[in-house]
Amino acid sequence: MQWIYNAEYWVLISFVIFCGLLYMMGVPETIGKALDGRAAKIKSELDEARRLREEAQALLAEYQRKQREADAEARAIVDAA
Confidence of residue 5 (pLDDT cuts 50, 70, 90): confident
Distances (CA, A) of 77 to 64, 73, 81: 20, 6, 6
Residue 4, pLDDT score: 79
pTM for the full predicted model = 0.61
- Residue 22, Cβ neighbours under 10 Å: how many? 13
Residue 70, pLDDT score: 96
Residue 9: closest CA among 30, 44, 17, 58: 17
The domain locations on the chain are: 45-81
